[in-house]
Structure 1
Amino acid sequence: MSKSTNGRAGAGAAPFGLLGRRLGHSWSPRIHTSLGSAPYDLFEREPDEVEAFVRDGAWLGLNVTIPYKRDAARLADERSVRVERLGAANTLVRRPDGTIYAENTDVLGFSLMLQRFCERRLGTSAEHLLSGRSALVLGSGGASAAVRAALEDAGARVSVISRSGDDAYETLVERHGDAVLVVNATPVGMYPACPATPVPQGDLARMGSLAGVLDVVYNPTRTGIALAAERLGIPAETGLPMLVAQALRSSELFQGRTLDVSLVDDIERQILSETGNVVLIGMPGCGKTTTGKRLARILGRPFVDIDAAIEARTGESPARIIGAQGEQAFRRVESEITGEYGARSGLVIACGGGVVTVPANYDLLHQNGTIVFIDRPLPDLETSGRPVSATRGVEALARERMGAYRAWADVTLASTGSPSGNAQAIRGLLGL
């Protein structure tokens, strides 16, 4: 029996949707609802079901994802010049006469993302940046072809980097050290295997002409390669603008009307506001847990206390782990749990006071989160039941950690003295 993730895809099925084999969680229904192309469903099909579904299904507009983009191009009655060029389609439209038109809005979506990035972050146009200059596309899969086409349209000399051959990762810097743009079109760094990067930070640092880094991956918000670029002071952006922009172009075809391109910014802001974690850091006893619980209640989000999660996982409190095994053993467990929750979305996370003592924890928290430092006067800190505070003293801990708290923070909140006041203040500061 044909199926969708929300029911049968026969008579009465959603007129719009996403076709793929294993779809899992997708933001496409939420995006298309905002664009007006709804109801929008998720249609999971096995390879032997695709042709019948495309040719005979009761749909008006389809987005198509891996592994069926080439099938979509093949099964269409008419193909755009982009589809003819790439041999792959991600958008199908059923016309009033029943014929099927295929388009590749991945090219259009990446083109919009590229142009916006160059104008807003680099102060130039894509054509001015790229004309006659080297750009690298990491990976040779389906996303790579769309990215390559958009870069070539902007005038770039494009090289595709893969795991073997002349243009491999091992020779990237030696052969292409003059590249002005690197685009990750691989799944490396995608949730849940994040943060990870296909190109080490050291290689990016050796590319003296590199002006920007883009990644088509949109979850997490800051991928491993984007974080590496950020540390080097190189402008970077991940794939949410491309996702929304290609959906906008698809929706225009579905609805037969032009949509305001400003919707891309609006929808992107909404998604980031809803899915970004709020991460609370600060000295032990500054009120992270009580503030986080209040904030989570106000926002209607799940709350995670990292120390409590460690105890739930190990069966022992942080104090007992530190007492029995030492602080370093505890930090290893803390980093594991921090990475697990930092990779998720839409949480309020309260960290232990010492999370900043392990530099690698910054990427784990920053990849999907806005980090808020709760700055409470040292005399007001609670110290009971806090073994590190008791052993070293609050003043000594502050000297060791205060610089990291301030460096990690996207926002610093001077504690109001109450969890409720802190929560309301953070909500206001973050515009949630």
Structure 2
Amino acid sequence: MAGTPNAGVDAGSAPFGLLGRNLGHSWSPRIHTSLGSVPYELFEREPDDVEGFVRNGTWSGLNVTIPYKRDAARLADERSPRVDRLGAANTLVRRPDGTIYAENTDVLGFSLMLNRFCTRRLGVSAREVLAGKPAVVLGSGGASAAVQAALDDAGALVSVISRSGSDTYETLAERHADAVLMVNATPVGMYPNCPASPVPEEVLAQLKNLVGVLDVIYNPTLTGIVLAAERLGIPADTGLSMLVAQALRSSELFQGRSLDVSLVDVIERQILSETSNVVLIGMPGCGKTTTGKRLARMLGRPFVDIDDAIDASTGESAATIINTRGVQEFRRVESRVTGEYGARSGLVIACGGGVVTVPSNYDLLHQNGTIVFIDRSLSELETSGRPVSASKGVEALARERMGSYRSWADYSLVSIGSPAGNARAIQGLLGL
């Protein structure tokens, strides 16, 4: 790639990888394998080990995440103008002479995310949306600095909101009512503490000029602030495209060649397809569990029945909790367990029939899931062993719940009558 200070090394001669302290599950190896920068490993290091690893490790290229981005900039022999501007680097390349070059592809990644959002969701360029107009960035850490730089490049008048100082969350609605864009650059709402939002929905609703809300978090797929924006009718997006785009720019440096930017869309779609939960809702006895088990086998995914998960968590069946402690207590337990599994990825989840009676459960399931309503004739529903169905009757339950089933669902499936048939139909609907 012209103008790139790339090492030009054979990818197999030394590993590429991600340097951080507590990496846990990372999608970076998955993304870089698709981009061609392999082998790619995760390098967890304690602070005292970072300098020795960076200066003397047998790596060709590194991505660097918190808390070592400033260390990466400091330890490099040469820094890009972006790194000098921000004082932080997320990409290091070892050149043939052994010197280390530092770049910040977070800025490039967010710029791509921002421009794609504006052109696809708003129909105009980022500069047309932002030039000379106010934008607010939540948080003042390393991610915030990259976001601020990209917004500044687009001509925005940027204000940073933090927990202390003169511009805080308490003054957000009062001082920034004219903001056209809000970007969350804090970790609030990140898995596993999701869905949570740094800004209450009622405050977001007061910012009448907002045309978009962006969140650099990519797990969950829909964060708390994005879910709130969705309810308010404000276009919003989370940060998976930024993650993939910054990786693509890093991989170009690693490999010394240009990569087609269309790979960002391709890899993003692949990740969403693999990680989005399939959530089955519907009346008790409609076949959610039997269909879900068959679908999970077909897709090679773990299957979770929320009623079984409640039993495993509490040592009591759903029927026992309802009969001994009441429906209200059962709903509380159900919401807790639903939240635990809804925050995970790549599952097939069969929900209890009454999950839709608690409105907040929608966010728990929607944040990482595609919701499918299995619509089965009431005359075919089984009520045996179902205390709520037996006490109220399926017709009364249907009157209470059918509207929610339909409004929650991304897809509705009229039951084909067999678990295998339903599973095949869902697989086709979702393109899995």
For this structure pair, what is the TM-score category when the shorter chain's length is used for normalisation?
over 0.9
Alignment partner of 1:354: what SS?
helix
Root-mean-square deviation (Å): 0.9
- The match for 2:135 is 135
- The match for 2:272 is 272
The answer to whether 1:287 aligns with 2:287 is yes
- The match for 2:48 is 48
TM-score normalized by the length of structure 1: 0.96
TM-score normalized by the length of structure 2: 0.96
Alpha carbons 1:71, 1:88 under 8 Å: kept? yes
Cα deviation, 1:110-144, whole Å, max 9, x if unaligned, reads 00000000000111110000000010100001100
Structure 1 range deviating more: 285-294 or 52-61: 52-61
CA displacement at 1:34 relative to structure 2: 0.2
Cα deviation, 1:210-247, whole Å, max 9, x if unaligned, reads 00000011100000000000000111100100000000
* Matched residue type, 2:319: A
The answer to whether 1:224 aligns with 2:215 is no
- The match for 1:183 is 183
CA displacement at 1:78 relative to structure 2: 1.0
CA displacement at 1:164 relative to structure 2: 1.2
Alpha carbons 1:14, 1:38 under 8 Å: kept? no
The answer to whether 1:258 aligns with 2:258 is yes
* Matched residue type, 1:393: G
* Matched residue type, 1:155: G
- The match for 2:174 is 174
Structure 1 range deviating more: 43-52 or 194-203: 43-52
Structure 1 unaligned blocks of 5 or more: 1-11
Q: Matched residues in 1 for 2:264 and 2:222: separation?
A: 18
Cα deviation, 1:307-352, whole Å, max 9, x if unaligned, reads 1111122222111111111111110000000000000000000000
**Greater RCO, 1 or 2 (C-alpha within 8 Å, sep 6+):** 2
CA displacement at 1:97 relative to structure 2: 1.6
Alignment partner of 2:246: what SS?
helix
CA displacement at 1:166 relative to structure 2: 1.1
* Matched residue type, 2:221: T
How many residues in Structure 1 have an aligned counterpart in Structure 2? Answer: 421
Aligned counterparts, 1:80-95, within 5 A: 80-95=80-95
Q: Matched residues in 2 for 1:287 and 1:132: separation?
A: 55
- The match for 1:333 is 333
Cα deviation, 1:43-65, whole Å, max 9, x if unaligned, reads 11111211121111111110011
Aligned counterparts, 1:20-419, within 5 A: 20-419=20-419
- The match for 2:4 is none
Q: Matched residues in 1 for 2:72 and 2:199: separation?
A: 32
* Matched residue type, 1:313: S
Alignment partner of 1:428: what SS?
helix
Q: Matched residues in 1 for 2:255 and 2:13: separation?
A: 17
- The match for 2:7 is none
Alpha-carbon distance change, 37 to 320 in structure 1, aligned in 2, over 3 angstroms: same
Q: Matched residues in 1 for 2:104 and 2:95: separation?
A: 17
Alignment partner of 2:353: what SS?
coil
Cα deviation, 1:344-379, whole Å, max 9, x if unaligned, reads 000000000000000000000000000000000111
CA displacement at 1:14 relative to structure 2: 4.5
**What is the percentage of aligned positions where both structures have the same residue?**
82
Alignment partner of 1:222: what SS?
coil
Alignment partner of 1:399: what SS?
helix
Structure 1 runs, 4 residues or longer, greater than 6 Å off: none
Q: Matched residues in 1 for 2:49 and 2:319: separation?
A: 56
Q: Matched residues in 2 for 1:187 and 1:234: separation?
A: 21
- The match for 2:8 is none
Alignment partner of 1:308: what SS?
helix
* Matched residue type, 1:346: G
Cα deviation, 1:183-206, whole Å, max 9, x if unaligned, reads 000000000000000001111111
